[in-house]
């Protein structure tokens, strides 16, 4: 998939844009000034593979808490500011790695300029955020409602003001809960600017509905090569946002680490407890970092036949099953042992890779030694 190459910025130590890997974000739902609860949740995000975390900064105590939160966490911290430019400045001064603001609602051009000068001093970017509920009225009037044009030009109007202050460490988000409008808006924005884009379907809804809406919307946009960082917005545990985000990227081939688990939907040919095996496999394999495609199929029709491209897999039989590797059967085992045997084969692949890395380092070291001796 060919991606648009945008301007590269850094949020903390995470590159965003410029062809960098697409980063995954989530947002805490703790009271930010509750340092330990907020830090605990951010660390849960990181454990699941989140790259960047965002928290609302609603008052001075929230802003002052950032420094302590950062000392207890390992991923960059974005301060989300609404209405009060002083909070934006305090957040930057206390270690925020990026500010998320709507320049149009934090107090006029003079105050925005103060925020920009602070960001320049601390060398941190600003994310300009506009959603379908915060479009500038003049663009609603000009383009006859909330649509792709009014959303995009409202955002670009704010970007142009930041540029007039000689500031270009910018990323942009333009979100809507309406998937078609969101897709059209990001397409238009991508054609009009080269800043990195933060993707999201805002107010997507509860976990099940929001996952589907976000997967459809973000999937379409990403498949067009658009987007540099994403957040899945769900009404629920924000850790789930990270999990869904990873799977969206993995399904498009945009994330290469970990297990890509494929399984069939079951039918009357299935003679093993496939659903339970798949559920257990998800839990057991989540720690695996090696990029592998694993297939768990209910019968030989789907695997190793249709799933022959999988690195490893299971094909169920009648109380038994086959373990296969790249379409080739390697052993036949009892149903109760299927998952354990599959995990054993995965571990063998990981050990082989580890052994190869060690061997490569030894060879490289020996070559360097020989070269040094030759030069002497």
pLDDT in tens, 162-207: 999 999 999 999 988 889 999 999 999 999 999 999 999 987 678 8
Name which of 299, 296, 290 is nearest 348 in CA terms.
290
Same domain for 242 and 199: yes
User: Do residue 84 and residue 212 come from a single domain?
Assistant: yes
The pLDDT tens digits for 15-28 are 999 999 999 999 99
| Three-state DSSP state, 131 | strand
In a domain, 358, yes or no: no
The CATH number for 127's domain is: 3.20.20.20
358 pLDDT more than 70? no
Residue 191 CA to residue 288 CA, distance in Å, equals 38
The long-range contacts involving 324-332, CB below 8 angstroms and separated by at least 24 positions, are: 328/304, 329/304
pLDDT at residue 354 is higher than 70: no
Same domain, 207 and 284: no
pLDDT tens for 88-107 read 999 999 999 999 987 777 77
Residue where one domain finishes, among candidates 228, 251, 274: 251
Of the residues 197, 219, 251, the one at which a domain ends: 251
Can you give the residue range of the structural domain that contains 204?
9-251
Q: Does residue 66 sit in the same domain as residue 119?
A: yes
Does the pTM surpass 0.85? The reply is no
Whether 93 and 170 map to the same domain: the answer is yes
Is 361 a domain residue? no
How does DSSP assign 193-236, residue by residue?
--S-BEE--TT--BHHHHHHHHHHHHHHHHHTT--SEEE---BS
Regarding whether 241 and 272 lie in a shared domain, the answer is no
Provide the 8-state DSSP code for 143: T
Q: Whats the size of the chain, residue-wise? A: 376
Instruction: Mark out the alpha helices in the chain (DSSP H runs).
Output: 35-48, 60-71, 85-93, 109-122, 137-142, 148-164, 179-192, 207-223, 238-251, 274-285, 338-375
Asked if 222 and 269 sit in the same domain, the reply is no
- pLDDT for 18: 94
Do 245 and 264 reside in the same domain of the chain? Answer: no
Let me know if residue 329 belongs to a domain. Answer: yes
pLDDT band at 335 (very low <50, low <70, confident <90, very high): confident
Domain final residue pick, 182, 216, 251: 251
Give a yes or no: residue 3 inside a domain.
no
pLDDT of residue 327: 82
Picking from 149, 126, 135, the residue whose alpha carbon sits closest to that of residue 105 is 135
CATH number of the structural domain spanning residue 299: 3.30.413.10
> 205 and 321: one domain?
no
Whether residues 155 and 291 fall in one domain: no
216 located within any domain: yes
Q: Is residue 67 part of a domain?
A: yes
Mean pLDDT of the chain: 87
Asked whether residue 220 is assigned to any structural domain, the reply reads yes
Q: Is the domain of 238 the same as that of 265?
A: no
Counted domains in the chain: 2
- Closest by CA position to 217, among listed 229, 199, 235: 199
Instruction: Please name which of 26, 25, 80 lies closest in space to residue 237, comparing C-alpha atoms.
Output: 26
Angle between the N-to-C axes of helices 35-48 and 60-71, in degrees from 0 to 180, rounded to the nearest 10: 50
375 in a structural domain: no
Q: Domain check: are 235 and 269 in the same one? A: no
């Amino acid at each position: 998939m060919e991606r648009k190459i945008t301007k590269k910025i850094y949020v903390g130590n995470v590159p965003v844009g410029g062809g960098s890997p697409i980063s995954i974000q989530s947002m805490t739902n703790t009271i930010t000034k509750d340092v330990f609860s907020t830090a605990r949740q951010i660390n849960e995000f990181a454990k699941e593979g989140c790259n960047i975390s965002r928290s609302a900064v609603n008052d001075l105590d929230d802003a002052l808490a950032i420094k302590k939160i950062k000392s207890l966490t390992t991923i960059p911290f974005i301060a989300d500011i609404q209405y009060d430019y002083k909070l934006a400045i305090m957040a930057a001064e206390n270690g925020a790695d990026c500010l998320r603001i709507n320049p149009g609602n934090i107090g006029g051009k003079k105050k925005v300029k103060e925020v920009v000068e602070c960001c320049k001093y601390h060398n941190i970017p600003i994310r300009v955020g506009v959603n379908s509920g915060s479009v500038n009225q003049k663009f609603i009037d000009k383009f006859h409602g909330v649509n792709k044009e009014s959303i995009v030009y409202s955002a670009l109007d704010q970007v142009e003001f930041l540029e007039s202050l000689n500031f270009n460490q910018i990323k942009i988000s333009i979100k809507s809960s309406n998937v078609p409008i969101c897709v059209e808006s990001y397409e238009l924005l991508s054609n009009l600017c080269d800043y990195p884009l933060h993707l999201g379907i805002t107010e997507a809804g509860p976990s099940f509905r929001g996952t589907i809406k976000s997967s459809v919307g973000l999937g379409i946009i990403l498949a067009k090569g658009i987007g540099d960082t994403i957040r899945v917005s769900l009404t629920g545990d924000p850790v789930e946002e990270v999990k869904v985000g990873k799977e969206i990227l993995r399904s498009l081939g945009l994330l290469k680490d970990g297990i890509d688990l494929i399984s069939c939907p079951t039918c009357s040919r299935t003679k093993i407890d496939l659903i339970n095996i798949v559920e257990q496999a998800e839990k057991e394999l989540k720690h695996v970092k090696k990029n592998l495609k694993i297939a768990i199929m209910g019968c030989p029709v789907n695997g190793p036949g249709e799933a022959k491209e999988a690195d490893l897999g299971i094909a169920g039989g009648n109380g038994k099953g086959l373990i296969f590797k790249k379409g080739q059967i390697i052993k036949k085992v009892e149903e109760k042992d299927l998952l354990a045997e599959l995990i054993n084969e995965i571990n063998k692949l990981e050990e082989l890779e580890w052994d190869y890395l060690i061997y490569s380092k030894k060879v490289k070291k020996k070559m360097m030694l020989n070269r040094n001796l030759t030069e002497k």
